[in-house]
Structure 1
């Protein structure tokens, strides 16, 4: 088993292109992950120490490694809990050899207390109790936590004991430096998984009314997922709809540079809630106006900064009216993009959080 290249380790359940892009901007670290997301860009992986490891291999790496710092998935990420808990337990073994355990940190954006939902069956309730015990075990071993949204901070405060060290750094992007913005004031974009929970059916249902009010409006749907066939049928029947299935990153950037409005009508599910919404972050970085639901952890900030936030259960006609109201001329859209970008932080919030998490401090024994 080959050793990791760096003493700083990021333990992820999944890796996606956004992780890889950020990794190039952060201090060098080895990334130990279980699986790749569909949006994994192999080109972005170049130059990074990426190690795919299931539970067994990750535990062995932790037990034998000389890790100084370890970032783990947040405790409310149920899919990663068993692996995270096992690796944390194994990472304490080097103390038997007189070495310090690694400093453990996490970045938390979970804004739904999954343990509040009542499981219908005895087996599910027993599993939930075991997951809560694991979550508490993981939480107690975290030295520093950076919250990406106020909602996440509040959920953790209600469920767990106070963190050893904690900070709130809103998960807002810095402006993208990829190119000069030239907005198309009547263009709408949907970016993300083509699924019901992301609200794509809500947008498709609203689209005829948007077109009736603004005949020049166009919709670009970017992503992949179970509703791809439905989008293809809609695009075949309406030439104003264009579908891009899992395009390369430069195409996504180009479309976001041009789009006036990003729509993400995220819908609640019993064990899922939109934490932030990477499409929202990426659209903001390109000066896009956002129309989304109150499920996102950025809802308050978006409302305070002139974007549109609706209740997820709002009818299609309400979505149509607010989306239509966000559209404008190309000139006004381009000018407004500059104002949207001016409201963003100079430094990406996730990068700021990471620098705080790993800032030099007195070693934790």
Structure 2
């Protein structure tokens, strides 16, 4: 096959949010290596989506007419090999008389992965990844940072980009969702949305929940997602009638639950190799007017604090998290949408990255 579009996006993993966004953006071929846990096949219809490993993706791009390629961010170490191959393929094409492609990227990383602890066997891999990250960084023409924390991280991890690189910060804030607003106040409901894993703070939220219902008996917790802790979620819900669990529902159902929720809780916890960049559930909760409860791990922590949301330190303990949830439940819902931009930050970043291209 051949890529016939002049725009292309190269992703290591593909998720539903990327597909939803692609439907409202100018046409581009999407190349991806693997599907994420929240991938919904129905969203592919009407898009040009190609599953390809790094070598095949680079070959397809080298034979294409692509003039602008979006790659995963340079500090995403799991994708730097694929990004480097794709860039090399397009550079080789230009040396053989083909058009020069503009390389663009959207960056959210707020923790330097090049200094994270590794064992003896990982040192050589980190050295190679470091070299590749710098190669990708030097060959990126336009980079949009989703948070100021990401801009600072890149400045310390990779130093200055090449002289020809243009960068900007466009906050990764959503526009208000077009969903109809529920009329009544409803129950004081909290939603946990996302991967049911420890690093997302799921165990901490379950541990804090009895303290919440002890003081707010009408409070309800809706757990939406899938992951390694699904069984624990179900078992907890069987023992606690204030909790419901919904495993991997369609997107329309997720929107419906967010519309009737007062709070979106995502108390992310850092690991030795991971830190929350943004937290897509936070973005979706904001778009639906939810009060947010999270930790200072997210790159949006400063903005959330400034706009009245509840941000606690990771590892602050069950009482602190429970107090934050209760505080958020007692605030009015929906007022925060006035603080959001008229244009979704990710769409605005896309328009900036692809400026002047068709």
The 5 A counterparts of 1:258-297 are 258-297=260-299
The 5 A counterparts of 1:286-365 are 286-328=288-330, 333=332, 336-337=333-334, 339-360=335-356
Partner of 2:129: 131
Q: Using the alignment, how far apart are the partners of 1:190 and 1:133 within structure 2?
A: 38
Moved more, 33-42 or 347-356: 33-42
Q: Deviations over 1:164-214 (max 9, x none)?
A: 100000000000002123443510010000000000000000011101001
Q: Using the alignment, how far apart are the partners of 2:160 and 2:338 within structure 1?
A: 34
Q: Report the secondary structure of 1:44's partner residue.
A: helix
Where does structure 2 lack aligned partners over 5 or more consecutive residues? none
The 5 A counterparts of 1:31-50 are 31-50=30-49
Q: Report the secondary structure of 1:76's partner residue.
A: coil
The structural deviation recorded for 1:5 is 3.1
Q: Using the alignment, how far apart are the partners of 2:159 and 2:101 within structure 1?
A: 21
Q: Using the alignment, how far apart are the partners of 2:94 and 2:248 within structure 1?
A: 46
> Does 1:102 find its partner at 2:101?
yes
> Does 1:148 find its partner at 2:146?
yes
Q: Report the secondary structure of 1:205's partner residue.
A: helix
> Does 1:64 find its partner at 2:60?
no
Partner of 2:88: 89
Q: Report the secondary structure of 2:355's partner residue.
A: coil
The 5 A counterparts of 1:134-283 are 134-163=132-161, 164-182=165-183, 183-283=185-285
Q: Using the alignment, how far apart are the partners of 2:85 and 2:195 within structure 1?
A: 31
The structural deviation recorded for 1:255 is 0.2
Q: Report the secondary structure of 1:22's partner residue.
A: helix
Moved more, 177-186 or 289-298: 177-186
**Conserved 8 A contact 1:263-1:291:** yes
The structural deviation recorded for 1:96 is 3.0
Q: Report the secondary structure of 2:195's partner residue.
A: coil
Q: Using the alignment, how far apart are the partners of 1:283 and 1:13 within structure 2?
A: 25
Moved more, 24-33 or 35-44: 35-44
Q: Using the alignment, how far apart are the partners of 1:310 and 1:185 within structure 2?
A: 24
The structural deviation recorded for 1:131 is 0.4
Q: Using the alignment, how far apart are the partners of 1:159 and 1:201 within structure 2?
A: 32
Aligned length: 353
**Conserved 8 A contact 1:108-1:145:** yes
The structural deviation recorded for 1:312 is 0.7
Q: Report the secondary structure of 1:51's partner residue.
A: strand
Where does structure 1 lack aligned partners over 5 or more consecutive residues? none
The structural deviation recorded for 1:118 is 2.8
**Conserved 8 A contact 2:13-2:36:** yes
Q: Using the alignment, how far apart are the partners of 1:314 and 1:47 within structure 2?
A: 46
Q: Deviations over 1:262-315 (max 9, x none)?
A: 110000011111000000000000000000000000000000000000001111
With normalisation by structure 2, the TM-score equals 0.96
The structural deviation recorded for 1:92 is 1.0
